Amino acid sequence: MNGYELDCRDLSVSPGGSPVLRELSLTISAGSRTALVGPSGAGKTTLLRAISGLQPIETGAILLGGEPIHQRAVHRRAIAVVFQEPRLLPHLDVQDNVALALRAAGVGRSERRRLAGAQLEEVGLGGRAKQRVQGLSGGEQQRVALARALCADPRLLLLDEPLAALDPNRRAALRRVIVELQQRRRLTTVIVTHDHSEAAELGQQIALMLEGRIVQHDEPRALFERPVSAAVARFFGVANLIPEGSDTLAIRPEHVRLSRDGGLRGTVVEAVYAGDHVRVAIDSDGQRLHAHVAPPDAPRAGEQVGVILPDEHLWRLPSGRSGDAAEVADG
Amino acid sequence: MAERLSRPAAGVLAALVAVPLLALVVRAFADEWRAPALVPQQFGLRGVEVAFSGSSGEAFGNSLVVALAAAALALLLAWPAARVLGERRLRHPAPVFLLLAMPLLVPSYAVGTGLTEWFIRLDLDGTLPALVAGHLTFVLPYVILVLLSGFGPRLTALEEVAQVNGLSPLRRMLWVTLPAAAPTVGAAALIGFLVSWSDYGTSLAVGGGRPMLPVVLLPFVGADPQVAATLALLFLAPAVAVLALAVRAGRMPL
């Protein structure tokens, strides 16, 4: 089973009059797994709803496997969606929830229950087929929702923050299930999350969305270490943006080193213990710099330190792209 | 602990409902019950004979047809209204709610009298359709309000699941919307039926002499308690049956 390429071209959507998607273009290669990230209100859910057809688009086109689908009815698009909340049908048991799309496709009862059972095995819920959905935990319900989406044998799988309501352990477990199943099926998959480290784990590619547009779409490392703009840098935690002439240099705080002597001189203005590291803020000639330091080596507030910015980790932002820092003021 | 307490509590509640009903049954079959005796001197079927000698049979039939038709029509009309209101698709819903509630603010006899004038002009007075239309004026707001409680983002969310799982609009309605909304629809139908079934004012005003159960029952209250008790039991029967059906529907989870 090979995936289909998803191609969104110049999508504009303004539900209620205010623009949410602004001529957004995004291409996702067949059989790949892409994490769609962005701050709240960036339009991630709206994009997923537009692709699935739940949100009508005003302009643009959506192609799946080369075929335009944006004028097709939702139930004819063969796109499965896992929503943030499991949305299980309360009047059906687990297996009939999973087999919903098979029933719509006219598959006979015994065959669809067999297929649903096999799908439940895949998400780690074998033996729960006949259970009522109300008796399941939040994580189990979300697995049923995932099984239901996969059982539909879709051309494209969209997951809208499927882990948001789960605790950290269940998140990690379900993350593994999603990645394994996607790899096995090579199903083109888009996963929305607002957590950039989760995006790095889930996506072979990450697409960052800001104010209704995709601002960078690349492999995870590129977004963390080679951001195309200050806004992208800030969203991915590149806390140091240092002006150099008309350019801006960017460096991640975990790559900044502190020394007693040497480097740029500065005063520690803040040192916050964060478990596995200490977040240190340094004022160097009016320039605020940030470093993550191992707790035993961390300086105290008020101390004079030297700041070393290793050349191999310094990244020069493409010129003309540093002025959009305000885009992600809360990023 | 809560479960241990709930059983006796349910028993007490059931007794509170059942004991007055039992008194009604005894009263209906007490041909002779003079004070200060605690139990009737003679049991018999005089109440049943008198109750059915008049127009009560016809009244029972009329009330049943009108209540069923009014509840069914109200459900059909209320469904789209409740969906629009429940999904907050109106920018200013308050005036709509006020308009909906207005028939409930006026005594039903007054509404009925106003409607009668029009029914006479249209040559509909005293007909069953006129009674159904009259009852609809105040059955509809109740049905809409009950349906509203089950309609909203949750139902829409389930319908979206149906769509992305390939269900056509008709299948979506049959397999997802109706089963998910069944308890609410059951409750709304029950309320609609009971409001119409127990109406006195509109039936009297619009009925043009056509017998309806509450109208037939009232003169016996005080004048002949045995016949009144028999008619009251007759009056209760479909209400209990509809309640049982609604409870059954309500057991299906939303």
* Residues whose CB is less than 8 angstroms from the CB of residue A227 and which lie 6 or more positions away in sequence, other chains included: A216, A233, A236, A238, A250, A315, A317
Q: According to the model, what pLDDT value does residue A5 have? A: 96
For chains A and B, what is the number of CB pairs under 8 angstroms?
Answer: 64
User: Which has the minimum average pLDDT: A137-151, A172-186, B91-105?
Assistant: B91-105
Give me B229's structure tokens: 């008790």
Give me B26's structure tokens: 């005894």
B55-251 fold: MetI-like fold (1.10.3720)
Q: What is the pLDDT of residues A201-224, one digit of tens each?
A: 999 999 999 999 999 999 999 999
Q: According to the model, what pLDDT value does residue A325 have? A: 39
Q: Taking CA atoms, what residue in A is nearest to B89?
A: A16
Comparing B87 with B3, which gets the higher pLDDT? B87
- Highest-scoring range by mean pLDDT, A13-17, A280-284, B28-32: A280-284
Distance set, CA A137 to CA A36, A91, A179, A264, B253 (Å) = 27, 17, 21, 53, 17
d(CA B219, CA A12): 70
Q: How much is the average pLDDT of A220-241? A: 91
Q: According to the model, what pLDDT value does residue B251 have? A: 59
Q: What are the extents of the domains in chain B? A: 1-44, 55-251
Q: Is A76 on the interface with B (CB under 8 A)?
A: yes
- B242 pLDDT exceeds 90? no
Q: What is the pLDDT of residues B32-57, one digit of tens each?
A: 888 888 888 888 888 888 877 878 88
- Within 8 A of A134 by CB-CB distance, chain B residues are 253
- Within 8 A of A75 by CB-CB distance, chain B residues are 162-168, 172
φ/ψ of B127, rounded to 5, equals -90, 160
Disruptive mutation site among A49, A64, A100, A158 for chain B (greatest number of B CBs within 10 Å): A100
- Within 8 A of B182 by CB-CB distance, chain A residues are 91
Of residues A75, A81, A134, nearest to B168 (C-beta): A75
Q: According to the model, what pLDDT value does residue A326 have? A: 36
Q: What is the 3-state secondary structure (H, E, C) of chain B?
A: CHHHHHHHHHHHHHHHHHHHHHHHHHHHCEEECCCCCCCCCEECCHHHHHHHHCCHHHHHHHHHHHHHHHHHHHHHHHHHHHHHHHCCCCCCHHHHHHHHHHHHHCCHHHHHHHHHHHHHHCCCCCCHHHHHHHHHHHHHHHHHHHHHHHCCHHHHHHHHHHHHCCCCHHHHHHHHHHHHHHHHHHHHHHHHHHHHHCCCHHHHHHHCCCCCHHHHHCCHHHHCHHHHHHHHHHHHHHHHHHHHHHHHHHHCCC
Q: What is the pLDDT of residues B110-167, one digit of tens each?
A: 888 889 999 999 998 889 999 999 999 989 999 999 999 888 889 999 999 999 999 9
- A128 pLDDT exceeds 80? yes
- Within 8 A of B175 by CB-CB distance, chain A residues are 100, 103
- B68 pLDDT exceeds 60? yes
- A328 pLDDT exceeds 80? no
CB A227 within 8 A of CB A248: no
Q: According to the model, what pLDDT value does residue B89 have? A: 78
What is the pLDDT confidence band of residue B249, given thresholds at 50, 70 and 90?
low
Of residues A77, A80, A91, nearest to B253 (C-beta): A91
CA of B134, closest CA in chain A: separation in Å?
Answer: 36
What is the pLDDT confidence band of residue A250, given thresholds at 50, 70 and 90?
very high
- Within 8 A of A144 by CB-CB distance, chain B residues are none
- B254 pLDDT exceeds 50? no
